[in-house]
Copies of this chain bind each other. A is one copy, B any other.
Amino acid sequence: VRTDVIPRNTRQRTVILETVRTLGNHPSADEVFEAVRHKLPRVSLSTVYRNLEFLANSGLIRKLEMGGLPVRFDSTVSPHFHIRCISCNRIDDLRGRRVVVVEDARDFDHDYEVLGYQVEFIGLCSNCRAESSPHHEPSAC
């Protein structure tokens, strides 16, 4: 990890950050790419990948690696949990009145130094619930 690099504010970097913020809904690299293209038609996919990685490392966005899906990005960096629709893979923030608590694992019987945990909720979003039978069969949505 290089720390001696002095980052530069390129137009691409700025637009990519803006795009993640305005898209809002946890876009993948490819979705960011398609959206950025409207403002910067000559942008390349690798530039998008490199900048999303850079912005995540800088703490300006958050990288979400959830259940076998392509990586997604979140413009909300403050701590919160996510819920994923089992049917359409839509991802939403989980902001609620009650706090999700995971008891820490420091006394568990293993030889790890525990640094943290990730929680991902699984559910059925309202769109998919409307389209699916009462038996909750998977549906396209």
Bound together, the chains give a CA A113 to CA B129 distance in angstroms of 8
Decide: B111 and A122 in contact? CB cutoff 8 A. Answer: no
CB distance from A111 to the nearest CB of B (A): 4
Interface size band for A: 35 or more
A118-B67, A121-B117 known; A112 vs B98 contact (CB < 8 Å): no
CB distance from A119 to the nearest CB of B (A): 5
A118-B119, A121-B117, A125-B111 known; A100 vs B100 contact (CB < 8 Å): no
A99 at the interface (CB under 8 A from B): yes
A68-B65, A119-B102, A119-B117 known; A97 vs B109 contact (CB < 8 Å): yes
Decide: B112 and A118 in contact? CB cutoff 8 A. Answer: no
A115 at the interface (CB under 8 A from B): yes
A68-B71, A86-B115, A115-B86 known; A95 vs B109 contact (CB < 8 Å): yes
Report A13-28 CB contacts with B as 1/0, cut-off 8 Å. 0000000000000000
CB distance from A118 to the nearest CB of B (A): 5
A94 at the interface (CB under 8 A from B): yes
A residues sitting closer than 8 Å to B (CB atoms) are: 1, 65, 67-68, 71, 81, 83, 85-86, 92, 94-103, 105, 107-126, 129, 138
